[in-house]
Amino acid sequence: MTPTEHDGRCVLRLILVAAASAMVLILAIAVDTAFAQSNRSDFADGAVAADGSLRVPEGFRERYVMLGAWAVAGDVDTGGKLGLHVVYAPGDAVTAFRKTGQFPDGTVLVKELFNGKTEDLTTGKATSAADVAGYFVMVKDREGRFSGNPLWGDGWGWSFFAAGETQKTRTKDYVTDCLGCHEPARATDLIYDYAYPVLRK
Ligand code: HEC
């Protein structure tokens, strides 16, 4: 072997070793990413604990799509004053609903209650969202995951959270605390979906 041939082989070997290491690295990153994704794709955006208790999903205002809002006169939740209810859902759930007319398994709906601030503006008497009064959260469940849990049934998980208590619900039983008021919307999976423009075709 001449010295140049020897050098050539060494370089080739180096290249092979480098290529093999790169492949191992790429594989490691791929496995790691897949693992992280499978962790991240937790049921219902991390809004449901293993025991079926719900919480308000973190950062929903920035991460979710606003479906629409209700101006509610004489709201029981805001002591009879004009209040605003703003409803949110994840963007991919909205996309799916627009295709199929149904929210996919694991969809989280958040209704945020605001006390209204009413004032005379250049437009006339106008009400804006002031402080938060609470949150209603529903999670779509097509598999009956938590049968026997009083926060789950009729295809949804149900919970109310007072302002500042986003981790611990005050709801004891969805049948007594929620269902009666949602019965009028039974034909649309218990959701008042006609009020949300982004869901319309
Ligand atoms: C007093 C009647 C009443 C009760 C009790 C009630 N809801 Fe509702 N809910 C409504 C009405 C009416 C709407 C739509 C209009 C509005 O917000 O004023 C609504 C809207 C919602 C929405 C937005 C999606 C939709 O259906 O349009 C969520 C989420 C929600 N409620 C969750 C709950 C949960 C969870 C409970 C129980 C902890 C509950 N609600 C109890 C009457 C009620």
- pLDDT at residue 81 in the model: 79
For the entire predicted model, the pTM comes to: 0.83
Share of the chain above pLDDT 70, in %: 77
Locate 47 and state its tokens.
């809004």
- pLDDT at residue 59 in the model: 97
Of all protein residues, the one whose alpha carbon is nearest to atom 40 of ligand 1 is 178
> Which of 72, 136, 174 to probe ligand 1 with, by most ligand atoms within 8 A of CB?
136
Give the residue with greater pLDDT, 1 vs 130.
Answer: 130
- Ligand 1 atom, smallest distance to 72 CA: 18
Give the tens place of pLDDT for each residue, 123-176.
999 999 999 999 999 999 999 999 999 999 999 999 999 999 999 999 999 999
Instruction: Report the alpha-carbon distance of residue 156 to residue 196 in Å, rounded.
Output: 19
Q: How many Cβ atoms from other residues are within 10 Å of residue 132's Cβ?
A: 16
Question: E strand or H helix at 124, and its extent?
Answer: strand 124-140
pLDDT at 78 over 70: no
- Domain positions in the chain: 3-44, 47-199
Of all protein residues, the one whose alpha carbon is nearest to atom 30 of ligand 1 is 136
Integer angstrom CA distances of residue 45 from 59, 93, 121, 172, 176: 11, 11, 39, 22, 26
Question: E strand or H helix at 33, and its extent?
Answer: helix 3-40
CATH 3.50.70.20 assigned to domain 47-199? The reply is yes
